[in-house]
Amino acid sequence: MVLRRSMQRQRARLHPIVFRWDLDKTYLKSEFDSLRQLVRVPFEKAQDKVAVPGVGPLIKGLRETATQAGREVRVHFMSASPPQIAKAIRQKLALDGIEYDGIVFKNQLQHLVRGRFRNLREQVGFKLTELLKSRPDMPAGAREVLFGDDWESDPIIYSLYADILAGRIASDELGDVLRTIGVDPRLIAEARERAAAAQREEAVEKIYINLERRTPPTMFRCFGPRLVPTFNYFQTAACLFEDGYLTLPAVVRVAEAMVQDAGYTPGSLANSLADIARRGHVQATTATAVREYLRVRALMPPSGRRSIRSVLWQRLKPWLKPKRGSAAPRAEAIDYHALVTHWRAAR
């Protein structure tokens, strides 16, 4: 296990790394569940916008950790919001002290003017083509970690993108899948063209989905172990620490933000950590390391009086019941036709 983590860190040093972030519901706590809230969004000022607890320190920590390791790092944002609100978003990112290398908005006005009303709500075509379009601009051999949410289609978009780059999805199959989803034929053609031109490499290491809607984790099993659904950014931070993308002090800063901004207590942080470990996305040893580091800083409850049997069970459990590791996701083929049907039916 130690050897594997050392190898991960070694690998992490070798390749440039790109962190791509969705904006609404992933970075920002955007409220547009009702028409009233939707109408209010364009008029919101930067200071009115609220970030998801822990996301700011997490992005800063990712950049800092990569820089410390001498690794080239990029942070990109992608939003389905119109460019008309770009100014407020850029100001918000500046207010939060987030450095970024690129940000893309969806030109909704253009779709409206051209009468492409279907494209106003449809995000798969837009996001997938934008991801593929920007890939050649990334440093050679760059690895990517993608962050989205469970509101729309981020899991499908990101998984398709990862499999296109890895050469696991053929152009015809891509076309069929996008047609099933209802993507605009022009965007399908563009996506197929860009997919054909993309360099084949296992570029996407992980996909993190913020369970803002509290979607049951089992819903994401069909996407394979590359995709990690997390309920809060402290859980994401623990996974990223295991993969060598974050240091423990950076994890602490995320935890502190959760306490300060979202009313988390040492107990609720401990519960969150135990949950992500039980779901097999971090190893028991990683969870222990995080727990002990945070405990010293009073961010975890003190260890209570426990029976010898309980202590023994906790020690032996990782050996007796080895859990699925998070660091080396299997490059398994996803049946996208079945997945799209299942995903849509379930939602």
Site residues (vs other proteins, CB under 8 A): 213-218, 231-232, 235, 264, 267-272, 274-276, 278-279, 304-305, 309, 313, 321
The C-alpha atoms of residue 264 and residue 185 are separated, in whole angstroms, by: 46
Work out the angle between the directed axes of helices 233-242 and 284-296 (0-180°, nearest 10): 120
In whole angstroms, the minimum distance from the beta carbon of 51 to other proteins comes to: 18
Paired tokens of 63: 């950049």
What is the C-alpha separation between 281 and 229, in angstroms, rounded? 9
**Least gap, CB of 23 to other proteins (angstroms):** 23
Nearer to other proteins (CB atom), residue 177 or residue 207: 207
The Cα-based distances of 126 to 43, 108, 121 in angstroms read 24, 11, 10
For residues 301, 307, 312, 317, the Cα torsion angle rounded to the nearest 10 degrees is -60
Give whichever of 128 and 258 is closer to other proteins, judged by the CB atom.
258
CA distance 172 to 192: 8
Nearer to other proteins, 25 or 279 (CB): 279
* Between 125 and 155, CB nearer to other proteins: 155
- Report how far residue 166's alpha carbon sits from residue 9's, in angstroms, rounded to the nearest whole number: 22
**In the complex, minimum distance from the CB of residue 258 to other proteins, in angstroms, rounded to a whole number:** 9
If the CB atoms of residues 112 and 274 are measured against other proteins, the closer one turns out to be 274
Rounded Cα–Cα distance for residues 220 and 255 (Å)? 25
Closest C-alpha to 245, from 8, 1, 51, 54: 8
Residue 90 DSSP label: H
**Alpha-carbon torsion (283, 256, 245, 160), positive or negative:** positive
12 close to 244: Cβ distance less than 8 angstroms? yes
In the complex, the smallest distance separating the C-beta of residue 282 from other proteins, rounded to whole angstroms, is 13
Nearer of residues 182 and 216 to other proteins, judged by Cβ: 216
Distances (CA, A) of 218 to 4, 228, 263, 338, 343: 27, 11, 27, 16, 11
Minimum distance of other proteins from residue 89's CB (angstroms): 28
Shortest distance in whole angstroms from residue 136 CB to other proteins: 38
CB 340 within 8 A of CB 181: yes
State the minimum distance, in angstroms, from the CB of residue 218 to other proteins: 4
- SS3 of residue 76 by DSSP: strand
Q: What is the closest distance, in whole angstroms, from the C-beta atom of residue 287 to other proteins in the complex?
A: 13
- Of 81 and 272, nearer to other proteins (C-beta) is 272
Output 154 or 163, the one with its CB closest to other proteins.
154
